[in-house]
Structure 1
Amino acid sequence: MKEAGLGIGGRYEPIECRSRHKVAIVVPYRDRKDHLTVFLHYLHPFLQRQQLNYVIIIVEQSAGTPFNRGMLMNIGFNEAQLQETFECFIFHDVDFLPEDDSNPYTCPEDGRPRQMSFSIDYWDNYKPTPRSHFGGVTALSTADFRRINGYSNSFWGWGGEDDQLFQRVKFNNLTVVRSFDEQPLLVHKARYKTQSHQKAQPNPDRKQVLAEGNVRFQIDGLFDLKYQRLNLQFKPLYTHLLVNIQPGPIKS
């Protein structure tokens, strides 16, 4: 990968042309080393074949508190902006692998965030997920992510943060699009394979937090993000952030 032009910190920019898109791939992470190894060795060549200017940022949550996927996404966004300017962000689960090179990892238009992983192997053998599904792999312009105040920081444990992200998008009058919406015969190119893993225990409070979320859209997210950066390393295949986060009182 180094010979192909991959720079330290998982940073790549094509030499033979100027990419039209500068993308940050943010991956929330904890205790999934095997998945991460496969993900990195698979996704780098995939992104390079699309001649993208990109970086892969792995945001790892330290032990001691329930996993908070939404907050890790917000942290990745915030820390990336401290390094350089990106036009858009792709928020990417570590176990999802795009199957076809034609699946574009380019930046979406402002006002039109893209749901990318809507055709998934485990979902009824690639049957498209419901239109309200907005998770797994999603792409938003930097301006749109700021506009919706990012993810909620209030979901500790599995589930809920993607559903509220969709609510935030709709609340701000953004239109969720899918790859190949205008070319339905090519929908098979947007398929994703998932690496097998044990399903996490659902958060029993997620439905209540989700139901109350609309009164906190403006104050729960990037606006009130608090975390402790324990370490920042620019590794050969990715930028690694280790952070400590703690639950706080839910604002209303």
Structure 2
Amino acid sequence: TGNNGILNRTALINRISTVCGIELNGSLNINLESPNDFQIRSSLTSKYVKLWKTVDTCSMYENETIAIIISYRDRAFNKGRLYNIAFYHLMKTYKPTCVIFHDVDLIPENDQNLYSCLTLTDHPLHMSANVRFQIDGSYTTIYPFLVGGVLTIRPETFILLNGYSNKYFNWGGEDDDMGLRFLSKDICVQRPTTGYYYAGSHSSQTRNKNRFKLLFDAALRQDIDGLSNIAQLSRITSTYEYPLVTWLTGKWIDTYSSMS
């Protein structure tokens, strides 16, 4: 084990391989062909559901829950609000030991980049340290305070940061704002050497024209804009429990967002 009884990455990989019978090979080849619904269900049922139901046998001491959060009807997209309201809901329902915020378009390229709370120290883990946007392209060089993409964090740290800002509608700015929150609270981020991802292509999104103005005074708003006021801005309108995931729908209830 590492500090404070945290399993180090190599030890956890060995346990998964020897006890759970799942071989982790490192780098993966990305298949961009979309499987049909039957293929997805068959693959997940035969492998991952069995693993999740035998976590004690595998000595992982975890219960995983995947939550998918979407905007209600045609509300303007706001990733920060979606993450905040999902966290707010899950803390009341599940009391997680850690949470992993995951952009939907990122595909992991290394199976040793573990989605686990057991390797998490007191420092949040920025799992998507290296991202490529073309299948034959090179990986982008990160800037120091980047925390977007895939982020593993303990609830108490997320609460200290006051979550994400609720003000960034459409595309751009919310991840940089979050990076500034880390800096203002002197919280360091760790990045695994296995953190390689492919960013799937999708239609271009409407850019947030106010993102630079919002970033300018981000530190001044941090303690009043985030988890602390999410209940006044958003609410969960529906929850569906499926065998593999929990599907949440979030709705904006403030006047500003209804006009966005």
| Residue of structure 2 aligned with 1:150, choices 143, 153, 163 | 163
Aligned partners of 1:239, 1:12: CA distance in 2, in Å? 16
Say yes or no: does 1:109 pair with 2:111. no
* SS of match in other structure, 1:178: coil
| Residue of structure 1 aligned with 2:213, choices 208, 211, 231 | 208
Aligned partners of 1:240, 1:56: CA distance in 2, in Å? 9
Say yes or no: does 1:133 pair with 2:138. no
Specify every segment of 5 or more residues in structure 2 that has no aligned partner in the other structure, as ranges.
1-43
Please say which structure displays the higher CA radius of gyration: 2
User: Under a length normalisation based on structure 2, what TM-score does the superposition of the two structures give?
Assistant: 0.73
| Residue of structure 2 aligned with 1:172, choices 180, 185, 192 | 185
Maintained 8 Å contact 2:85/2:236? no
Q: Deviations over 1:64-100 (max 9, x none)?
A: 3310000100111111112122111110011111111
Maintained 8 Å contact 1:13/1:19? no
Maintained 8 Å contact 2:70/2:250? yes
For residue 204 of structure 1, what is the amino acid of its counterpart? Answer: K
Match of 1:6? 49
Q: How many residues align?
A: 207
Aligned partners of 1:201, 1:249: CA distance in 2, in Å? 17
- Report the alpha carbon displacement of residue 102 of structure 1 after superposing the two structures with TM: 0.9
| Residue of structure 2 aligned with 1:100, choices 94, 98, 110 | 110
Match of 1:17? 58
Say yes or no: does 1:61 pair with 2:104. no
- Report the alpha carbon displacement of residue 6 of structure 1 after superposing the two structures with TM: 2.5
Specify every segment of 5 or more residues in structure 1 that has no aligned partner in the other structure, as ranges.
23-52, 181-188
- Report the alpha carbon displacement of residue 249 of structure 1 after superposing the two structures with TM: 6.2
Match of 1:245? 252
- Report the alpha carbon displacement of residue 240 of structure 1 after superposing the two structures with TM: 0.4
* SS of match in other structure, 2:178: helix
Maintained 8 Å contact 1:153/1:220? yes
1:127–1:243 CA distance, 2 compared to 1 (3 A): closer
* SS of match in other structure, 1:196: coil
Aligned partners of 2:73, 2:212: CA distance in 1, in Å? 25
Identify the structure with the greater strand proportion.
1
Maintained 8 Å contact 2:182/2:188? yes
Aligned partners of 1:152, 1:92: CA distance in 2, in Å? 16
For residue 59 of structure 1, what is the amino acid of its counterpart? Answer: I
For residue 6 of structure 1, what is the amino acid of its counterpart? Answer: V
| Residue of structure 1 aligned with 2:242, choices 235, 239, 246 | 235
* SS of match in other structure, 1:6: helix
Maintained 8 Å contact 2:125/2:191? yes
Maintained 8 Å contact 2:124/2:190? yes
1:204–1:234 CA distance, 2 compared to 1 (3 A): same
RMSD, aligned CA: 2.2
Aligned partners of 1:212, 1:92: CA distance in 2, in Å? 26
Match of 2:91? 81
